[in-house]
Amino acid sequence: MKGARGTLINITGGMDMTLFEVDAAANRIREEVDEEANIIFGSTFDENSAGRIRVSVLATGIDSTHTSNPKGRMTRGSESDLGVSDVGGDSARVGVSGYARAGQESSSGAPAEADLFSRGSGNRNSSLK
């Protein structure tokens, strides 16, 4: 996602999702892309996602020197990992999903690693780990 010149971001969360959480997620992605990137984002509520936020990103215009997974295979790890998939040309799909708020367990039962979504932290400089 480093250096992407175009980014589409969709943020989905439960009815308890706040504007601060949406802003924090969008800003975290904004830090990764080209400073002149065209960024379009939106958010939506999903009643079945209480306490969770899913961030989907479609990034384009990525210089191949910035691609963290040059073979184009999806990476898989903990729920806080970014998975990058080369979809041809200068585009890549990046997915961030399954985040629980700090202090809660993720769907896998592991404690959430991202303090980005903890309520009342007031820390806009938090980052995904």
Q: Which fold has domain 6-117?
A: 60s Ribosomal Protein L30; Chain: A; (3.30.1330)
What is the maximum span of the chain, computed from C-alpha positions, in angstroms? 42
Helix (H) or strand (E) holding 3: none
Beta strands, E only, 63-115? 83-86, 91-100
Tell me the two tokens of residue 49: 């996602």
Burial class (CB in 10 A: 0-12, 13-18, 19+), 74: exposed
Tell me the pTM: 0.51
Task: pLDDT tens for the chain, 129 residues: list them.
Answer: 888 999 999 999 999 999 999 999 999 999 999 989 999 989 999 999 999 999 999 999 887 665 555 555 444 444 444 444 444 444 444 444 444 444 444 454 444 434 344 333 333 333 343
Domain ranges of the chain: 6-117
